[in-house]
Structure 1
Amino acid sequence: MTLLPDPPVIEFRSVALTYPGPPPVSALLPCDLTVRRGEYITVVGPSGSGKSTFLNIAGLLDLPTHGTYLLDGIDTATIRDVERTGLRGSRIGFVFQAFHLLPHRTARENVELAMLYQRTNRAARRARAHTALERVGLGHRMDALPTRLSGGERQRVAIARALVTNPSLLLCDEPTGNLDTATATAILHLLDTLHGDGMTILVITHDPQVAARAQRTVTIRDGILTDGAPQRAHP
């Protein structure tokens, strides 16, 4: 029996988004993009180019107004809103520039929050949060509050929270934007390690040095997406 290959994690088929007016604004023009399992891709472009629109579509926060978006082979426009929310929660891990941690919850509790809507009992949630924090090098800080953590540690908690549901895609929006150079480098090394373990990673960035770490870079300018050639081998 011949085994079929896994579908791409992300497949855009002539995807576009126009915000209603007046006047209507074409934030992303029709584009095609394929992100295969295990790839590491960066998305670059100037402010106002359409990067945020791309992020919102890829993260199932907005629906395209044209074209088809398949996530893990699932047509995201043909399912109900509640199913789309569940798909986002189970298949996509988000990492943001601003961390978005609850200040009065410990690192472990912040990670556990990502599993609240799953059918997982409390003991299992705690165990999985522990494992995720260990994976990002923070097993010794799991009971610390975010206010007691450095910027790099807070971002590691955010990454652990994104990983704890075992997503198909790690979607990062300027993940080093609030960090100093040394701390940013450590976070990028962590992303390299996760990629080496097989994680599919897509990073939105304005930093050429961050972009250069990926296998290939996608450029968005004036709503036009250009898919770049591969720039380095899998680590």
Structure 2
Amino acid sequence: MPRRRRPEPAPAHPRHPDAPVIEFRQVALTYPGPPPVEALRPCDLTVRRGEFVTVVGPSGSGKSTFLNVAGLLDSPTAGHYLLDGIDTGRLPDHARTALRGRRIGFVFQSFHLLSHRSALENVALAMLYASVPRTERLHRARAALEQVGLGHRTGAVPGRLSGGERQRVAIARALVGRPSLLLCDEPTGNLDSANAASVLALLDELHTAGMTVLVITHDAGVAAHGHRTLTVHDGVLRERVTA
């Protein structure tokens, strides 16, 4: 008889389908001084499931701080951040780390791929510590690469891929854990115009399929892909109002 696949453990915090993916309630982050720096001033924000939101602002405006808070890389010093309805401030550090790994897929300007590993291996490694059997990891990695249009490049190492293809591998790696949120930091920053357009078209496709996408960018053309755009200036987060 064929061996049965070992079931994945139930998540410690099941998703709440009606809850916003991101909910900030007067969230702020102040770095201690002297003098203290208000990197993110108290703000409210709701990002609902299936939205495509972009965040823009000049260098030093607080975009990176916002990214770090939204991505559970830094903890706010005030307010409450709920991810999928879970109050992240009530979690111990190890539980926050686990929640980040399950619920948030990161895509960065620098692709952060292992040069000596194939595209398939780079994607599968994202699940190495998620108690997923190796055969299942490879199956899901292939499916993720198919999803981003790279099913024919599974065996290629990053040095054999174009910049756009490397970013697609990075997006597949972010998707393979089936996150609630795809959080992208300047995802086209290292790409030429043709590859940038291809990656943005992929993000549009993922959003159309139901993925919640949040993109931090300095590029107005990239920001225009969002259905909503937020601005950050001197640590103040605001919704951009269009006429």
Question: Per the shorter chain, which TM-score range?
Answer: over 0.9
**Residue 84, structure 1, aligned to residue 89, structure 2:** no
Deviation at 1:229, TM superposition (A): 4.3
* Cα distance in 2 for residues equivalent to 1:182 and 1:18: 39
What does the per-residue CA deviation read over 1:19-56, in whole Å, with 9 as the maximum and x for residues that have no partner? 01111111000000000000000000000000000000
Deviation at 1:138, TM superposition (A): 0.4
What does the per-residue CA deviation read over 1:64-120, in whole Å, with 9 as the maximum and x for residues that have no partner? 000000000000010111111110000000000000101111101110111011111
What is the TM-score with the length of structure 1 in the denominator? 0.95
* Cα distance in 2 for residues equivalent to 1:85 and 1:226: 28
The letter for the 2-side match of 1:55 is: L
- Counterpart among 22, 39, 58 of residue 70 in structure 2: 58
- Residues 92-131 of structure 1 aligned to structure 2 (within 5 Å): 92-131=104-143
Aligned equivalent of 1:20: 32
Aligned-partner SS, 1:26? strand
Q: How large is the RMSD of aligned CA atoms in angstroms?
A: 1.2
**Residue 40, structure 1, aligned to residue 52, structure 2:** yes
The letter for the 2-side match of 1:141 is: R
The letter for the 1-side match of 2:184 is: C
- Residues 138-177 of structure 1 aligned to structure 2 (within 5 Å): 138-177=150-189
Contiguous gaps of at least 5 residues in structure 1: none
- The percent of aligned pairs where both chains have the same amino acid is 71
Deviation at 1:176, TM superposition (A): 0.2
Contiguous gaps of at least 5 residues in structure 2: 1-15
Aligned-partner SS, 1:165? coil
Aligned equivalent of 1:216: 228
**Residue 196, structure 1, aligned to residue 201, structure 2:** no
Deviation at 1:227, TM superposition (A): 1.5
The letter for the 2-side match of 1:203 is: V
* Cα distance in 1 for residues equivalent to 2:19 and 2:240: 21
Q: Are 1:136 and 1:190, in contact at CA under 8 Å, matched by a contact in 2?
A: yes
The letter for the 2-side match of 1:96 is: F
Deviation at 1:228, TM superposition (A): 2.7
The letter for the 2-side match of 1:65 is: T
Aligned-partner SS, 1:77? helix
**Structure 1 consecutive aligned stretches of length 4 or more whose deviation exceeds 3 Å:** none
* Cα distance in 2 for residues equivalent to 1:125 and 1:5: 25
Aligned-partner SS, 2:41? strand
Aligned-partner SS, 1:46? coil
**Residue 73, structure 1, aligned to residue 88, structure 2:** no
* Cα distance in 2 for residues equivalent to 1:195 and 1:11: 19
Aligned equivalent of 1:9: 21
